[in-house]
Structure 1
């Protein structure tokens, strides 16, 4: 067999064997060179990214090579700056680089200094006795995955009003109901419009159909914790707690989304989010560095976070999923993301945002204990329950009050595998974050629709007037109540439906992420705590359940360690980065678990 090779340089020949039955063998690929000397890498027509492998080959008497590039035929050739190239041993490169035995490989060109993607031509200029002319030019396409290094600017994130939140929730419901042709919707900060993208223009009329909102609240509270509310004077939980919540001001309105055609559907982006943190080093080099993944609806892509810059990871993700489908954010603080499982004299009727002991039986007959925080009193079929985070408990465990210590609730439902992370509850097709409920021992103990406020040792409480019935939206503000830090306000949502790999390897799925720039953060023992907004009357709307977060890495404490226990808990100082918190929306909790938040 003769194969015509039209151009000099290096080529790949792929060979398969086909038997009479039509079975095809595994492909074998051979690299060979035509001509006197030329490029081995990259090959003509390739897409290249942040890191471009450079290699050349030629006669054995060649002594050196210099790699050059240009944008177009009309441009002059320029040496690739040696400072942008590293050798296999990470040493600096000097042109001409030494060729040994006619081969030069293991060089990586960092293309970060090139201002724009597009066409590139690359060639090699050789050195040595009777050295050949420069190699034939190889044309490649520079197509880099976006690497984001800027910090999230909380002040630039607008808070949506109630109508926008409800309308966006409805648009998200449409996308989840038909995920193959709908894409994740978003609120356009510039126009104030709900944008409902589609991958097929035939679906545009359905995506852009008017959303009718009826009896939605005018106000669901804020992150202002200064409102006092009414005092908690009840010894027993009042009978009216399970009744209808107090009347509130509502509104009726309609919102019509605008549509646009995009390349990636809800199903495609969600599948990437679900898979990417499960990748191993065998799948892509550097996979172990991947910490979070979330859909960036406005840009129709998935954003993955890593603690340190790694262009090789970015290129590998782009090759796997498509360079316009994924972006990488370099965020050093995510290295410290962890669950915060580790106020103190809560008695029946038990309240939310209180310390409790999680008792987990072990196979040796002993028990493991953790301090966590209750979120909200819960009710199901008229019986009392308590809601907290799933990673605080186990299916065969118990919830004990802190002081005095009494066992008041065996665990009833738990959606967290303590070695893997979020799991789907029976009968549910989706992940529901990090949740657990304990069934309070009826006729012996009860719960009250209140949560603790003030500092870690505070005894005053807030009344749970109602709960959020939509998922959290970017820009919304809230407070958090934990047994370590007490009531901390000033949080702002930065991302929803997030997938996060904690430091212990467990993976949190379908979570909301929020941040604050200064003040007290969350700390060990706050896990399971209450996420809520405060109304002007001091009552609260339940919003979520704390899973974990960081004040990266919780600062350096007085003992010289960064474990958080002796830190000043202030993320404003030089030893800390911004605070972050991860939580499960209360709407998701009520959808996934039997029962609902107890209100009064």
Structure 2
């Protein structure tokens, strides 16, 4: 059941939304689902850095470029729309990659495409407005981008034949389809984290008098706003009207509060409205799914062990990404339920759609590349990981780069809120780095 929302859409999208959906028929087969792109293998740090450098160039000039994708351990493919300055743009791309590459060579392949990133973004925006307007009910749950092809990717359920036919009629070859289950938020059911708190720790939600608790979540990275250090977590863990705004270490279940060193702080702001399990629109459709905790001390380090209790190793955070990653980027997650999982591959860095009944933007869709007889084994985040840390290694360093906040999961896919959404919410916000 979806929440009833007040939605503002453009006139063009409203006109499209009023167009009836054409039923599927034998002579009009539904467009097929395409698989998620395969993982590029164990990617070198130099390749990650080169892809990030080129992607920043693409994001800054979306009319001139199409997109970038990591295509192998030491390979990056960049697609450009046609034009008289194609060669000049190709030289610029390769120059950006050379600035990022260290001692290990990276292959940069430049290809010509049909559309620019700006074209793809316009298609994605129209489809997103149609989804929000309820045109396809629960049959199309989200939309993202394949920047390397300059097309939108609609995520639809297995029984969405009529919706896929309708979208294909409207947008032609500028849209493709991937099969997706409905995304669920990962609230509820390491563990005795004391101050200063690390990313990837678990906390339990309590009311102010500490007489009742509801659910468990995880922590992401500290940020500084207006000179005060806060800790990031998921917005749906701390919705605006929750009666459980205080966070204590997950292991402690007694109504008698433990030592204050196990207190994570309380909610000070959030992008999600409503109560736990009964969410309403806040501004998660603009900035993603995050909340700020305040009231304890926080350090920029992340738990990187697989175990959920007992002694755990950690890594310092020495860099932060406030931008959108390249598709094919490899990231790790850390949360109270699954510990650290690495080799998550970003398969759609521009996803938006319904999660837990709310429409969200500023999301990236990830999938494990662990192979199981040729099939993805669906190793992914689980309930209780929400709010946890998303990060990647930094070339030539033992530190990591902060990337985002765990948001939800569904089937073989998981979602995280990009730190780009936090920056869009408040451009002055910063992250203390080691």
* Short-chain TM bin: 0.7 to 0.9
Matches within 5 A, 1:396-475: 398-402=245-249, 403=252, 404=258, 408-418=264-274, 419-420=279-280, 423=283, 431-439=286-294, 441=295, 445-454=296-305, 455-460=307-312, 461-475=314-328
Corresponding residue number in structure 2 for 1:195: 79
Corresponding residue number in structure 2 for 1:98: none
C-alpha offsets along residues 80-117 of structure 1, whole Å, 9 cap, x if unaligned?
xxxxxxxxxxxxxxxxxxxxxxxxxxxx43454xxxxx
Greater Cα shift, 405-414 or 382-391: 405-414
C-alpha offsets along residues 462-508 of structure 1, whole Å, 9 cap, x if unaligned?
22222235422221212111011111222111111101222x32122
Does the 8 A contact of 1:378 with 1:386 survive in 2?
Answer: yes
CA RMSD of aligned residues (A): 3.9
Corresponding residue number in structure 2 for 1:147: 32
C-alpha offsets along residues 432-486 of structure 1, whole Å, 9 cap, x if unaligned?
32122122x3xxx322222223211144322222223542222121211101111
C-alpha offsets along residues 28-71 of structure 1, whole Å, 9 cap, x if unaligned?
xxxxxxxxxxxxxxxxxxxx9994xxxxxxxxxxxxxxxxxxxx
C-alpha offsets along residues 229-287 of structure 1, whole Å, 9 cap, x if unaligned?
xxxxxxxxxxxxxxxxxxxx999x9x99766543881452232242132142xx45xx3
Counterpart CA distance in 1 for 2:403 and 2:379 is 20
Does the 8 A contact of 2:121 with 2:152 survive in 1?
Answer: no
Are positions 1:269 and 2:123 aligned together?
Answer: yes
Q: TM-score, normalised by structure 1?
A: 0.55
Counterpart CA distance in 2 for 1:539 and 1:546 is 20
Distance 1:184 1:213, change over 3 A: closer
Are positions 1:500 and 2:334 aligned together?
Answer: no
Counterpart CA distance in 2 for 1:216 and 1:393 is 42
Task: Return the structure number with greater relative CO, CA threshold 8 A, min gap 6.
Answer: 2
Counterpart CA distance in 2 for 1:303 and 1:214 is 27
Matches within 5 A, 1:314-463: 314-319=164-169, 321-331=170-180, 334-335=181-182, 337-342=183-188, 343-359=190-206, 369-395=214-240, 398-402=245-249, 403=252, 404=258, 408-418=264-274, 419-420=279-280, 423=283, 431-439=286-294, 441=295, 445-454=296-305, 455-460=307-312, 461-463=314-316
Alignment length, in residue pairs?
Answer: 379
Counterpart CA distance in 2 for 1:316 and 1:480 is 37
Query: Displacement, 1:525?
Result: 0.6
Matches within 5 A, 1:18-37: none
Counterpart CA distance in 2 for 1:478 and 1:188 is 13
Counterpart CA distance in 2 for 1:157 and 1:268 is 33
Counterpart CA distance in 1 for 2:127 and 2:432 is 33
Does the 8 A contact of 1:477 with 1:491 survive in 2?
Answer: yes
Q: TM-score, normalised by structure 2?
A: 0.73
Corresponding residue number in structure 2 for 1:529: 388
Matches within 5 A, 1:37-186: 51=24, 108-112=25-29, 146-150=31-35, 152-154=37-39, 160-175=47-62, 184-186=66-68
Say which one has the larger Rg. 1
Does the 8 A contact of 2:128 with 2:353 survive in 1?
Answer: no
Corresponding residue number in structure 2 for 1:487: 340
Distance 1:330 1:377, change over 3 A: closer
